[in-house]
Structure 1
Amino acid sequence: MEQENSSLYKEKGDSYYEGANPHLLNRIKEGWKEVLDIGCSKGGLGAAIKEKGIRVSGIEAFEDVASVAKLKLDDVIVGNIETMELPYKAEQFDCIIFGDVLEHLFDPWAVVEKVRPYIKPGGMILTSIPNVAHISVVKSLLNGDWTYEEMGLMDKTHIRFFTYKEIIHLFEGAGLAIRHVERVLSYSDTYGKFMADLHAVCTKHQIGTTFLLDAITYQYVVEAVKPV
């Protein structure tokens, strides 16, 4: 299964592994000393964080991609976060980043538990996670479609899918406190009438009280803090 999944990643273009999510970069705090970027790809985000005077380590599953990141970051290890032994010290990092990574894991709940000891008290997990409750997915599902794509919300390498509530359960279940949630919005007027009709159904049946906002949220950026 793992080899089959790896072959799907090899089909992706170089652009998939490049760049830095600005929504994550904007959440980096002054005074941080050290950050771990899990799924660091080619080191685009980590390099931008380093410019803020922070030491950045990375973990990347694919050797060819990691070889590029090694030229940019302070330390990069090649490995599968779900199965590898972590060589770090307890409470070493101010922040551990999962930038569009948790949805690619077989057991993201176990991984969050696994990395928790390496976060300083008061430090955080910073993550971006796609929203499967986006209106584009809801409409496709109501049409009987669950079609995987090369990239995006229905990326064929996604293994797990999250709504807002399940994201909160993921981190609170690991003993982390949600400090901040940013919604990255994506909306097209073509969905307007469809959303209005669905909202009326939700109102009638007293469900989905946040439907209109959830339906235009493409991605959640979450700060989950380890208690002091």
Structure 2
Amino acid sequence: MKPIRIVCGTRVSEQEFSTKTALGRSLLIHQAANPVEIRLFAENKQGLSTIYNRAIDEARDNPAILVFVHDDVHVCDFLWSERLREGVVAFDVVGLAGNTRRVEGQPAWAFVDDRFTWDQACHLSGLVGHGNSFPCAVSSFGPVPQPCKLLDGLLLAVDSERLEQAHVRFDEQFEFHFYDMDFCRSAELNGLSMGTWPLSVVHESGGAFGTPAWRESFGRYQDKYAMASTPKPQEANVQKQTPVHQFHNPDLLKLMPANARRVVEIGCSSGALAREYKKLNPHVHYTGIEIDPGYAQLAREHCDRVLDMNIETACADLIAGDLAADCWVFGDVLEHLYDPWALLQKIREASAPGSCIVACIPNAQHWSVQARLSVGDFRYEDAGLFDRTHIRWFTLVTMLELFTQAGWTVEAGVPRVFDEPQREKFLPMIHAMAAAAGRDPEMAVQDALPLQYVFRAVAG
């Protein structure tokens, strides 16, 4: 019987793998019932495609069921190795989540466009837990098992001999983003079947959709498959709102008080955050406020009520009365307002002591913004830091000022730093600019890393 060989790249050392990564800890727990081989690329600085291909090459003389998996995946199934063996009998390539179809220009297995519009539920398959503790949030995408055309690269399992026979490898131009999309295209072109399989895991981190590195890889993926559309003038592509999506911000969720009685979320979009929070606090009364009627209709499935309105037009009496809450939530919203200072002050004046605001705000000091500004590349986009619907821009310093000037006390803050290896070549220049300006260069580099900040501010 072929061994199961885990293939994983991690930034930690080999000695730290079993204690500092979700995958390492879970493999240690299950090692008696699930004996496996581990091909670990410790302290890894190479692209995933590169190390995965090395494992494929090594398997020529030592075939195995290869499991390409991220190190932030906690395997929860006590008999997961048997499940995987069953899966690779049913399909050539097995994953946890996927899509039964592929449409032109698709940027990920779950989305149909680069505005991150979810595909119809009837095309999706999979079940994945999210979080770093138990109980965790569970995303149920659709029935499992299902034949698929695209699989999430979080975990991919395949018999090495089938890969060798089909001459399928990973394209090393995709170091992280789109390596899974490209691999699935290659597998399909070479006659390999793909499908989801039931396996319980918890993913400890979210994706990095929409980051500069992601968009750069998306362009190369489009070029490879000749899917790039003709660029349109900015004026012809203006979006009324940031595109709706079904994701929630896990860092925002963590800072929300666990026992809030009344929550008001501004810009609730599809209601994804309400959906997850009500799992933790089912007795809360959750009000969503959404300026887009179409988004508001989606959010009504998860909120106790949703108001179609522009919160900046709300009078003080409405905020203090019908909208009175012990937690207000602004998930990537304050930057879309004309006068966020006035609104936060109005809410503060209407709030009882101990009430809080939880907010996520994009960082205008992010290294990618500085890099693009240095060459005049300030072009609006449909999402991300250059979202065309942003009205205000904040750095960490001005974010803190925003709250304090409105009478709030920031008691918790979390920088959201993602895996962006391409930043390393820009950070020395940021360091040098800060030094030239007579400011702390180390602090300038640290403040250039977060894509966003999440805060909880309280009323005294």
Tell me whether 1:219 sits opposite 2:459 in the alignment: no
Residue type at the aligned position of 1:44: A
The answer as to whether partners of 1:187 and 1:216 remain within 8 angstroms in 2 is no
Question: 1:37 Cα deviation (Å)?
Answer: 0.6
2:278 corresponds to = 50
Q: Does 1:168 align with 2:396?
A: no
Contact kept? 1:61, 1:80, Cα under 8 Å: yes
Kindly state the Cα deviation for residue 62 of structure 1 after the two structures are TM-superposed.
Answer: 1.0
Matched, 1:188 2:393: no
> How much is the aligned-residue C-alpha RMSD, in angstroms?
2.0
1:27 is aligned, of 233, 252, 255, to: 255
Are residue 108 (structure 1) and residue 336 (structure 2) matched? Answer: no
> Greater RCO between the two (CA within 8 Å, min separation 6)?
1
Contact 1:183 1:221 in 2 (8 A): yes
**CA offset digits 1:83-140 (Å, max 9, x no partner):** 1346354593121000000001111111111222343311111000000100000011
The one of 388, 395, 399 equivalent to 1:156 is 388
Q: 1:87 corresponds to which residue?
A: 318
Q: Does 1:117 align with 2:349?
A: yes
Aligned partner (choices 129, 137, 154) of residue 369 of structure 2: 137
1:8 aligns with 2:236: no
Q: CA deviation at 1:202?
A: 2.1
Q: Secondary structure at the match of 2:457?
A: strand
Distance 2:326 2:440 in 1: 36
Identity %: 36
Note if contact 1:92-1:120 (Cα within 8 Å) is conserved in structure 2.
no
Q: CA deviation at 1:204?
A: 4.7
TM-score by length of 1: 0.88
| Counterpart position of 1:40 | 268
Q: Structure 2-normalised TM-score? A: 0.45
Structure index of larger Rg: 2
Q: Is 2:303 the partner of 1:70? A: no
Where structure 2 has 5 or more consecutive residues not aligned to the other structure, the ranges are 1-234
Unpaired runs of 5+ residues, structure 1, are none
CA contact (8 A) 1:119 1:226 kept: yes
Q: 1:174-225: CA deviations, max 9, x gaps?
A: 1111101100013533232321233134235421441111111100001111
Corresponding residue SS for 2:353: strand
- Higher mean alpha-carbon deviation, 125-134 vs 61-70, is at 61-70
Distance change in 2, residues 1:30/1:194 (3 Å) = closer
Give the whole-Å Cα distance in 1 for the aligned partners of 2:374 and 2:356.
37
Matched length: 219
Q: What is the distance in 1 between the residues matched to 2:272 and 2:350? A: 23
Report the CA distance shift for 1:88/1:138 in structure 2 as closer, same or farther (over 3 A). closer
